[in-house]
Amino acid sequence: MVIADTIFSKIIKHEIIADIVYQDELVTAFRDASPCAPIHILIVPNFLIPTLNDVVEDHEAILGRMIILASKIAKDEGIAEDGYRVIINCNKNGRQEVYHLHLHLIGGCLLGPMLVYRDI
């Protein structure tokens, strides 16, 4: 399996230290280095899918694993009952910062509005 050279691939390969909460053959989950809530965990595929636009049918098992893992981690972190948010940003206007598909699992507090439009 080839892993592209992104900051996330370096975390997946343990070349960069991160607080990894889960890893298997398909996905890796780790705490965000700059969290926006008490619980902010990123779930990424172990190989490069740059954006949500690059997902194909062959990725179904990986995407399913990412969603199921988000639910499991939310329970393990104690935020499932009160609620949490799952976000996938896509491209520039979606504010994607790392072009390695990733899911944000965010919770542990009352979260703000889903989206605030600002003409920037």
Residue 102 known to be catalytic: yes
Q: Residue 33 and residue 36: Cα distance in Å, rounded?
A: 10
In the Cβ-directed half-sphere of 54, how many Cα atoms lie within 13 Å? 14
Average of pLDDT values for 57-63? Answer: 97
Q: Residue 116: which pLDDT band, with cuts at 50, 70 and 90? A: confident
Average of pLDDT values for 27-42? Answer: 97
- pLDDT tens track for 63-97: 999 999 999 999 999 999 999 999 999 999 999 99
Catalytic hit among 14, 40, 100, 102: 102
In order of their start, the domains of the chain are 7-107 (3.30.428.10)
Q: Report pLDDT for 109.
A: 97
Amino acid at 77: E
Average of pLDDT values for 99-107? Answer: 98
